[in-house]
Amino acid sequence: MRIRSAPVTLVSMAVSFAATAACCVLLSTVFAPGLPAQTTQPPYIAEMPSVDRVAKALQTANPDETAGRQMAAFWELQQMILNMAGPRQYRRGGLTADEQRVRQGYYTAYYKLSHQSSRQAWSVFSMLSSSPLFLNQLIHQVFPPGFAAEYAKVMGESRQQWAQLHQQNVQRARAQEKAQRQAAQQAGNKLWQQYQAQQQEAHMDPQTRELRRCVSSGRVMALCVGHGLMGSLMHNVNGILSSVVPRVVGKEVTGPQMAGVFAGSGWRLEFSEASVALSCQDMVPDSHAYTISFASNHAVLDIANVPRDVVLTVNGDMLIGSGPMAVQGRVSEGVHYGYDPVSGRPANIYQYLRVTRTCARPMLGKSTSLGVVGAEKNLLVGLFNNGDAGPPTPAGVRMNGIYAASTGFSVEFFPESAILGCGPDAARAYPYTVVADGRQAAVKVAAPHHPLTLFIKPGNRLDPGSGPYLVEGRRITGQDANGNYTFAPLNATCRLATLSPGPVPSAPLR
């Protein structure tokens, strides 16, 4: 039997139906000529060897080798059906009933063997399942003569089609990115036009008012916009994830959290909001939830772990444990070339083994590395702020969320700064540090004219003391010739009082 092929041209991703039809035409043309009347769809399915034929052809004198070779053969055969189906395989109902039936037969045979095979058989399978040489031998062994050459030709054309589709995807993604940037720019321009109008604060919508307050306080504009977008688009995502995998993703709350990278004695910790990527010895970084608490004026870091939590004391710039600790995690077992189990496409498959290591006593210091989280943040902020990423986030204990008092005074914490506010509009951002040295546990806000110390109290409260406090805020008045925003003073005085988690007060109270 002679198998012939015909070229297929995919016009664009926009005509996916045409691409599917063209793929079917290709396979029908390749495998139909010279065959007797067929009852399978597409016709090439009639050429696929039976399970029994494959099993007999792969028999050897060694039972383990036989099982491994048979598993590899059944796995490759069911993948061949996907490869020959081309882009059609990713459409709902894309495979025909005959393709599904034959592929399921191969997969069932593979599945049964996989639950009966020894470690030696699996070793044989691992060597052969991604071997082009084995696939070539299999085609010559169980398919009709001439099939190998035509199959190679079809797969070459299929690779060209995937390359075309990939290029079209890249072009579409670039077009979408351009459109999104233009839309974002238009949205930003519209937002800043609201500032230029100098509306009365009382009539502004809450989102605009919050953004205006953030920019006027002196924070980098890109950080203010990003915080607003994350609040509206990603609302409660962290809460959902932390409820699904509570020991892997921490729940972000108003209160203390960690930032930065710490390394030492074979350990590495990289913090991001309420989660930390932890590794020690040869383990790869894994996400763990963590909490910060204060005891005897010391900060204590508790990281969720098996068999016991990793508990560290924050001592200045150091994280210190009481002794060696057992940590459960993963180690890499290497990578092999295979097929992604989700998409079915060829890909590097990374393998890991879950282990428990006894790691040395943790004594970790601040690292100069930004880490993945810090580098990505600086890159994104710089892209949307003319290269200015704003002040760096200090490594160590930080604060998160809004604390407010009934007097109208408030403090809104961000990783790099704290906004002191009096009422909804008078606000100014300053750097801050968290001190927990055994003598006191406090947040110190470095306001040049009015430095402020907030003592950390039980019940997640902050005590700034008493008396009047002047917030030296600003308001936006317009833009200069270079497009930079101009400001005028907007000062307000509030009385200090104990602060608890809550929203920014709607008005200053005296």
CA pair distance 167, 183, nearest whole angstrom: 24
Query: Residue 385: phi, psi to the nearest 5?
Result: -140, 40
Give the pLDDT of residue 390: 62
Q: How far is CA 361 from CA 49, 260, 321, 323, 380, in A?
A: 60, 20, 6, 4, 36
Confidence tier at 244 by pLDDT (50, 70, 90): low
372-407 pLDDT, tens digit per residue, is 555 455 444 444 445 555 678 889 999 999 999 999
Give the pLDDT of residue 175: 86
132-188 pLDDT, tens digit per residue, is 889 888 888 898 887 777 777 777 777 777 778 778 888 888 888 888 888 878 777
Q: Residue range 80-109: average pLDDT?
A: 85
Of 58-62, 111-115, 191-195, which gets the smallest average pLDDT? 191-195
Residue 58 has pLDDT above 70, yes or no: yes
Give the pLDDT of residue 77: 92
DSSP, residue by residue, 278-317 = EEETTPBPEEEEEEEEEETTEEEEEE--SBS-EEEEEETT
Residue 8 has pLDDT above 70, yes or no: no
Give the pLDDT of residue 490: 92
Q: Map 71-89 to HEC letters.
A: HHHHHHHHHHHHHHHHHHH
Q: Is 269 exposed, middle or buried (0-12, 13-18, 19+ CB in 10 A)?
A: buried
Q: Residue range 269-290: average pLDDT?
A: 91
Residue 461 has pLDDT above 80, yes or no: yes
Residue spans per domain, the chain: 13-168, 198-235+391-510, 257-364
Q: Which amino acid is at 161?
A: Q
Residue 17 has pLDDT above 70, yes or no: no
Of 157-161, 217-221, 269-273, 452-456, which gets the smallest average pLDDT? 157-161
DSSP state of 202: G
Report the mean per-residue pLDDT for the chain. Answer: 81
Q: Is 486 exposed, middle or buried (0-12, 13-18, 19+ CB in 10 A)?
A: exposed
CA pair distance 277, 271, nearest whole angstrom: 6
313-352 pLDDT, tens digit per residue, is 999 889 999 999 999 999 988 888 887 776 778 888 888 9
Which candidate, 41, 39, 8, places its Cα nearest to that of 25? 8
Q: Residue range 50-69: average pLDDT?
A: 92
Query: Residue 275: phi, psi to the nearest 5?
Result: -125, 160
Q: Which two tokens stand for residue 134?
A: 């084995």
- Output 484 or 494, whichever has higher pLDDT: 494
- Output 137 or 200, whichever has higher pLDDT: 137
282-309 pLDDT, tens digit per residue, is 999 999 999 999 989 999 999 999 999 9
pTM of the model: 0.56
Which candidate, 199, 193, 222, 225, places its Cα nearest to that of 211? 225
CA pair distance 186, 189, nearest whole angstrom: 5
Give the pLDDT of residue 201: 54
Please report which helix (H) or strand (E) contains residue 225, including its range.
helix 221-233
Which candidate, 11, 10, 46, 8, places its Cα nearest to that of 29? 8
Give the pLDDT of residue 30: 37
Q: Map 272-288 to HEC letters.
A: ECCEEEEEECCCECEEE
In the chain, pLDDT over 90 holds for what percent of residues?
42
Give the pLDDT of residue 236: 57
Give the pLDDT of residue 130: 80
423-455 pLDDT, tens digit per residue, is 988 999 999 999 999 999 999 999 999 999 999
Give the pLDDT of residue 140: 86
Q: How many CB atoms lie within 10 A of CB 427?
A: 28
Q: Residue range 477-489: average pLDDT?
A: 85
Q: How far is CA 485 from CA 192, 428, 479, 488, in A?
A: 10, 16, 4, 10
Please report which helix (H) or strand (E) contains residue 193, including its range.
helix 147-196
CA pair distance 118, 196, nearest whole angstrom: 74
